[in-house]
Structure 1
Amino acid sequence: MRLEHKVALITGAGQGIGRAIARHYAREGACVAVADLSLAGAEQTALGIVAEGGEAIALQMDVTDEQAVNAGVERLVRHWGRLDIALANAGIQHIAPVHKLDYADWRRVMNVHLDGAFLLTRAALAQMYENGGGVMLYMGSVHSLEASPLKAPYVAAKHGMLGLCRTVAREGADRGVRSNIICPGFVRTPLVEKQIPEQARELGMSEEEVVRNVMLKHTVDGEFTTLDDVSEVAVHLAAFPSAALTGQSVVVSHGWHIQ
């Protein structure tokens, strides 16, 4: 197993991509702290891991709350004694053109993605530095590398997470910390399912047209990225044995973005 004896924390793991990665990490031998704004969602993921023979705890965590993030990291360290892998995955979306975008909606998206990633990073690095190293991962997006209409705060936040990832790779190198960012294309999670009708209204097209002509237009095969695709990349990055792979954006998008 690739992550045996490792302790991992994943935010936004009560559903979607975070849940898939949490389950995959556990199957690879990691002890997993499942953090989510929804305690019920976190508990459901953790209970599923335990039922499959893995080890997990559930943490209610608002990633925009400094005290909540610090307390969650401290709790898992008390429970397992260390933190080896942290993945900033929590995210939300808001669809609107820039000229109609409320500042409150801009701030809300930025707070969850970028501020939340910073708070988790700071708390996790303190533990990793003390223990001689670790892996800091971020759930970016193809939108960490290019833009799409109607998603200004999301695109800006995901670009910012790429910069944070690269900075951590530089700062953490002599402390044994590697840092990488996963950049998926569209995955049919609740976050994406919600966007389809929203974009259809804004763009004046059918939901089928949004999927075909917007979301999957630039893929090589017209296919959505899957949860398994993303979770496999997350395991690979967590288990990679050296700093040969650090500070990188790893795109998993069926060719939507080719770098």
Structure 2
Amino acid sequence: MQLSGKTAIVTGSNSGIGLGIARELARSGADLVINSYTDTEEDHELARKMAEEFSVTVRYIQADLSDGHAARGLVERAGACDILVNNAGIQHVAAVPDFPVEKWNAIIAINLSSAFHTAAAALPMMRKAGWGRIVNIASAHGLTASPFKSAYVSAKHGIVGFTKTVALETAEEPITCNAICPGYVLTPLVEAQIPDTMKEYGMDRETVIRDVLLDRQPSKEFATVEQLGGTTLFLCSDAAAQITGTTISVDGGWTAL
């Protein structure tokens, strides 16, 4: 798949899943806008290194996606958007009676509302260009649930519903909108949790991964950021032109249970 001449915006993309997706799109020739809420020299250096590695244009644009105006501003500042990947997200774990209101509001704003705002700003650009792809990174928790993750589960279920709505609104246009639902992915954030979990359960690394982290993932293997990048790339291809309004699970069989 060659994406030369296309501009892709990937939110929450200075690490983890977002960075993996951004790299795969750049590898296929897309110009990139990567994003996070920070604005450090390391963020901008990451963009410079990616541009050099893949011989494409890469810009880093800071935006706090908990603010709807900032989310729309990210797309407007990009100036073009052929591919929009809504990946930004945060998590908090607590029982419903104990769940802090500010955490609920932040998770809904960043994990769900930001996708509405970026899509609203991007769709006119896609219509003007005559082509577009929206890929929303949902979760296995967009299709099922776990205790103590009420805000995250609600936001990810909302992303799946929003995906279907956008797909129906663009069904007669050369624009598609789909959601990817990952299970557990081995990112730096997850990797950092493993030593503490080993201490908590008194287990070795392999047992913690298999019996704790991947308890609900039948394959007993993490998904990789490269696999999610490849799935995103497929959804941008001509082969996926009639795939819209659906979810693709990359979860090792989690939601087959």
User: 1:128 corresponds to which letter in structure 2?
Assistant: M
Task: Assess, with a 3 A threshold, how the Cα gap between structure 1 residues 59 and 146 changes in structure 2: closer, same or farther.
Answer: same
Shift in Å at residue 192 of structure 1? 3.2
Shift in Å at residue 177 of structure 1? 1.5
**How far apart, CA to CA, are the structure 2 residues paired with 1:48 and 1:232?**
21
**How far apart, CA to CA, are the structure 2 residues paired with 1:200 and 1:127?**
48
Unaligned ranges ≥5, structure 1? none
CA contact (8 A) 1:183 1:251 kept: yes
Shift in Å at residue 39 of structure 1? 2.4
SS across alignment from 2:152? helix
SS across alignment from 1:257? helix
The equivalent residue for 2:211 is: 213
**How far apart, CA to CA, are the structure 2 residues paired with 1:239 and 1:38?**
31
**How far apart, CA to CA, are the structure 2 residues paired with 1:149 and 1:189?**
22
Shift in Å at residue 210 of structure 1? 5.5
**How far apart, CA to CA, are the structure 2 residues paired with 1:188 and 1:123?**
31
CA contact (8 A) 2:197 2:208 kept: yes
Between stretches 179-188 and 98-107, larger displacement belongs to: 98-107
Alignment coverage as a number of residue pairs: 253
The equivalent residue for 2:22 is: 22
1:65 counterpart (64, 67, 86): 67
The equivalent residue for 1:45 is: 46
**How far apart, CA to CA, are the structure 1 residues paired with 2:127 and 2:197?**
43
- 1:185-200 pair list within 5 angstroms: 185-193=183-191
Percentage identity across aligned positions? 36
1:142 aligns with 2:140: yes
The equivalent residue for 1:8 is: 8
Alpha-carbon displacement from aligned partner over 1:139-189 (angstroms, at most 9, x marks no partner): 111111001122111111000000000000000112321000011111122
**How far apart, CA to CA, are the structure 1 residues paired with 2:242 and 2:111?**
27
User: 2:33 corresponds to which letter in structure 1?
Assistant: A
The equivalent residue for 1:223 is: 221
The equivalent residue for 2:162 is: 164
Shift in Å at residue 196 of structure 1? 5.9
CA contact (8 A) 1:92 1:191 kept: no
CA contact (8 A) 1:62 1:68 kept: yes
Alpha-carbon displacement from aligned partner over 1:204-253 (angstroms, at most 9, x marks no partner): 74575663334312333311111111111011112244542111100111
SS across alignment from 2:85? strand
**How far apart, CA to CA, are the structure 2 residues paired with 1:139 and 1:181?**
6
Task: Assess, with a 3 A threshold, how the Cα gap between structure 1 residues 187 and 206 changes in structure 2: closer, same or farther.
Answer: farther
**How far apart, CA to CA, are the structure 1 residues paired with 2:72 and 2:107?**
21
Unaligned ranges ≥5, structure 2? none
CA contact (8 A) 2:82 2:126 kept: yes
